[in-house]
Amino acid sequence: MFVSVRFYWIFILSTIPAVLSENVAFIIIDVQNCFLPGGSLAVTNGEEVIPIINTLRSKYENKFRLVVLSQDWHCSNHISFASQHNETSAYNSITLTYDDNGNICDPCQTVAYNVSQMLWPDHCVINSTSAEFDDTLTRKDSDVIIRKGFNCDVDSYSAFFDNGKFSQTGLHKILQDADISTVFVTGLALDYCVYYTSSDAKRLGYTTYLVKDGSRGVANSTSVDALTDMASNGINIIQSDGVGAILESITSAAVSSCSFVLTIPLVIPMLASWIISGI
Ligand code: VGL
Ligand code: ZN
């Protein structure tokens, strides 16, 4: 009896950290050499996101249950590279056609999906230096790395799905398995991969915060459009100095639900043991 009561208390107390720790993931999109100064698809001022992301990590590391880094990871003849299309140059858009299995076709017997594709300079080729994360970006062994865009025939702006929504990267399952309900998204580029990832996160049901100063866009007009669209879809656009207060409010909500949840297993046995022992 003594042993089982002791195990009971150990079990109850061991659940406290799990109930108290926030269900929050910090998602860092594509902070890779190819998108930084000197890279083939350098985002203007892209390097400015690095100290902001590193500061958020160092200040709130213990508040993020998961830190996720996505990595654009393309075959050398990727369909999104202008070099693979004779008549069209980079930064022009084309339409790609896919059959009902999600295989690219041209010509197609029947077109099942049309996917608009912006053509890019060659970038982030698998295993190249260009695809590596920036050296100064803080990283840990526990970071979750999500590679995307390695199917040569379809692009993948979002860290959740490819652009045709033919396949998942596995990120949603990883977040679900870790019981994540809130995500903070940062990185490059605001008007493409950050925008698509945040939009999918919100659609998948996560409370989504886009940390605006922790992100930079390829172009101003597409960045403005992306921000407007995200805001209208319920994504919270915030600055990095607002992250602390949001995490605090998530913690206090967790503390009150923890106290409530623990009332039954803690108070009832306590009262019972008082009654039994005649107090
Ligand atoms: C990206 C264009 C092409 C991005 C990736 O990370 O935003 N943009 N590939
Ligand atoms: Zn890419």
In 5-54, which ranges are E strands?
24-29
Give yes or no for a contact between 183 and 209, defined as CB atoms under 8 angstroms apart.
yes
- Of the listed ligands, the closest to the CA of 70 is 1
Nearest ligand 1 atom, CA 29: 6
Instruction: Compute, in angstroms, the gap from residue 202 CA to the centroid of ligand 2.
Output: 22
- Of the listed ligands, the closest to the CA of 35 is 1
User: Catalytic positions, please?
Assistant: 30, 148, 193
Kindly report the number of other CB atoms within 10 A of residue 100's CB atom: 12
Pocket test for ligand 1, best of 193, 195, 199, 223 (most atoms within 8 A of CB): 193
Kindly report the number of other CB atoms within 10 A of residue 12's CB atom: 13
Q: In DSSP terms, which residues pair with 95 in a beta bridge?
A: 116
Q: In DSSP terms, which residues pair with 186 in a beta bridge?
A: 28
* Confidence (pLDDT) at 20: 53
Instruction: Compute, in angstroms, the gap from residue 104 CA to the centroid of ligand 1.
Output: 20
SS3 9: helix
Give nearest CA residue, ligand 1 atom 2.
192
Instruction: Compute, in angstroms, the gap from residue 155 CA to the centroid of ligand 2.
Output: 7
Give yes or no for a contact between 216 and 191, defined as CB atoms under 8 angstroms apart.
no
Instruction: Give the pairing of strands 207-216 and 236-238.
Output: parallel
Q: How far is CA 273 from the centre of its chain?
A: 47
Nearest ligand 1 atom, CA 120: 3
Burial 259-279 (b: 16+ CB within 10 A, else e): eeeeeeeeeeeeeeeeeeeee
Instruction: Compute, in angstroms, the gap from residue 212 CA to the centroid of ligand 2.
Output: 21
Query: What is the reported pTM?
Result: 0.88
227/278 Cα distance (integer angstroms): 65
Give yes or no for a contact between 191 and 157, defined as CB atoms under 8 angstroms apart.
no
SS3 119: coil
The amino acid sitting at 38 is: G
* Confidence (pLDDT) at 10: 52
Kindly report the number of other CB atoms within 10 A of residue 1's CB atom: 5
Pocket test for ligand 1, best of 72, 93, 210 (most atoms within 8 A of CB): 72
Give nearest CA residue, ligand 1 atom 8.
192
Q: Determine the Cα angle at 127 with ends 26 and 190, to 5°.
A: 35
Tell me the mean pLDDT per 10 residues along the chain, length 279: 53 52 92 98 98 98 97 98 94 97 96 98 98 98 98 98 98 98 98 98 98 98 98 98 97 72 64 67
Instruction: Compute, in angstroms, the gap from residue 225 CA to the centroid of ligand 2.
Output: 20
153/65 Cα distance (integer angstroms): 34
238/242 Cα distance (integer angstroms): 6
Pocket test for ligand 1, best of 44, 124, 157, 158 (most atoms within 8 A of CB): 157
* Confidence (pLDDT) at 252: 84
171/124 Cα distance (integer angstroms): 20
| Residues near ligand 1 (Cβ within 6 A) | 30, 35, 72, 120, 188-189, 192-193
* Confidence (pLDDT) at 154: 98
Give yes or no for a contact between 155 and 79, defined as CB atoms under 8 angstroms apart.
yes
* Confidence (pLDDT) at 16: 54
* Confidence (pLDDT) at 87: 84
* Confidence (pLDDT) at 268: 66
Nearest to 116 by CA among 81, 92, 100, 99: 92
Two tokens, residue 26: 């910090």
Nearest ligand 1 atom, CA 74: 9
Instruction: Compute, in angstroms, the gap from residue 100 CA to the centroid of ligand 2.
Output: 24
* Confidence (pLDDT) at 279: 55
17/2 Cα distance (integer angstroms): 25
Query: DSSP letters along 49-84, please?
Result: HHHHHHHHHHHHGGG-SEEEEEEE-B-TT-TTBGGG
